[in-house]
Amino acid sequence: MKKIALVGCTGSIGKQTAETVRRYPNEFAFSSLVCGNDENALAAMNAEFRPAYACCAAKEAPDLQRIFEDCDVALIAAGGFAGLSYTLAAVRAGKRIALANKESLVCGGELVLREAEKYGAEIVPVDSEHSAIFQALSFRRDTRFARLVLTASGGPFLHCTEEELACMTAKDALRHPTWNMGAKITVDSATLLNKGYEVIEAKWLYGAGYEQIEAVVHPESIVHSLVYFEDGAAIAQLGYPDMRVPIQLALTYPERLPCCEQLDLARIGALHFERLPREKFPCFDLALRAGKEGGTCPALLNAAGETAVQAFLQGRISFLNIAETIEDALNAIPRSDADCYEAISSADATARERARKLIYGK
Ligand code: MG
């Protein structure tokens, strides 16, 4: 029986994790459940799964030690920058961390990895692309590879003209063609900021240089990512787009349990790949720029991005304003080292304030 501490239990990944636990009651149980603000959903899960500890972060400050003290796996599915403090607490408890919170590595990659080494914690990716790479590397981070290729569905606006992009609303952005995800990440998929985040995550997870990581558009979302090796061989992981597979695998690996339908290749027919249209979606290059500049730059990128996406979802700014808000923060705020939580958190606050001023004029 594996005991899971689930942070972000009422979000999209959290609910799908609960489905896995429901399906395998003899394999998994929740030792703790933490949600952001959906108290009612937490109460229902609490009644069903009876964890030793449950907390709604909007109501009371979560006890970071208690969340992780009794678990075998910490699944961090909290959204946004808030996820970093949970990831750090789980790392310092020396746990296996099934990481679904991108911001932990985007903003705090250097710190999280250093602490993981110190405390003997293990980071297992939940994101479908990084899970695919992990599988292609036979679950071994020391496997030598030449290049990593992240696939991208391209989001709902892939073939829009720039004029069309300027008019896109939150409702349009939330119609993702293949994956069923939360609102924030769905908008990040439409801007390709999400793919930029994933490049930064891949750098930290697999010790790859930025020149070794690329992204390619694959509209069917069947090939979840690939690893190229020195001899020219490439290994990919394929499957229907279903987050339950990487979630479950992060909990069970190297073992596997039945999860979803197997591919019917003849029914799928053709798979397509095309170049990432970087010039139309500047958020991708902004993410790479921040990643390469390093230090607190990715935290600035993320904070400005979160603020802008929230404003976009509320109809306050246009789709194209999202990239402009991020670029403004990166240009205006100086980089500093990201070697402790305080430095990262302070960069986060500075970029949020600047982005808010730009968007709301105050
Ligand atoms: Mg992904």
Q: What is the pLDDT of residues 17-62, one digit of tens each?
A: 999 999 999 999 999 999 999 999 999 999 999 999 999 999 999 9
Q: Residue 2: enclosing H or E segment and its boundaries?
A: strand 2-7
Give the distance (Å) from ligand 1 centre to CA of residue 11: 16
d(CA 159, ligand 1 centre) in Å: 20
What residues flank ion ligand 1 with Cβ within 5 A? Answer: 127-129
CA 114/CA 116 separation, integer angstroms: 6
pLDDT of residue 180: 67
Look up tokens 């972000």; give the residue: 8
CA of 198 to the centre of ligand 1 (A): 7
Q: How far apart are CA 313 and CA 310, in angstroms?
A: 5
Whole-model pTM: value is 0.96
For ligand 1, the distance from its centroid to the CA atom of residue 100, given in whole angstroms, is 9
Residue entry with tokens 């990487």: 246
CA of 162 to the centre of ligand 1 (A): 24
Positions in the chain short of pLDDT 50: none
Whether 307 and 355 have beta carbons less than 8 Å apart is answered as yes
How far is the centre of ligand 1, averaged over its atoms, from the C-alpha of 128 (Å)? Answer: 5
Tell me the CA–centroid distance for residue 254 and ligand 1, in Å. 21
Centroid of ligand 1 to alpha carbon of 22 (angstroms): 24
Ligand 1 centroid vs 301 CA: distance in angstroms? 18
Q: From ligand 1's centre to the CA of 166, what distance in Å?
A: 25
Q: 361 CA to middle of ligand 1, Å? A: 33
- Cα 186 to ligand 1 centroid, rounded to whole Å: 10
The pLDDT, as a whole number, for residue 175 is: 81
CA 181 to ligand 1 center in whole angstroms? 10
What distance separates the 2 farthest-apart alpha carbons in the chain? 56
Calculate how far, in angstroms, residue 304's C-alpha sits from the geometric centre of ligand 1. 20
| Cα(67) to centroid(ligand 1), Å | 26
How many angstroms separate the alpha carbon of residue 131 from the centre of ligand 1? 9
Burial of 256 (0-12, 13-18, 19+ CB in 10 A): exposed
Cis previous bond, 254, omega within 30: yes
Place of tokens 């808000």: 325
Q: Which two tokens stand for residue 127?
A: 């994101």
Label each residue of 97-156 as H, E or C.
EEECCHHHHHHHHHHHHHHHHHHCCEEEECCHHHHHHHHHCCCCCCCCCCEEEEEECCCC
Quote the tokens at residue 66: 């208690």
Burial environment of residue 195 by CB neighbours within 10 A (0 to 12, 13 to 18, 19 or more): buried
* Distance separating alpha carbons of residues 177 and 155, to the nearest angstrom: 7
**Which letter, b or e, does each residue of 142-167 get, where b requires 16 or more Cβ atoms within 10 Å of its Cβ?**
eeebebbbbbbbbbbbbebeeeebee
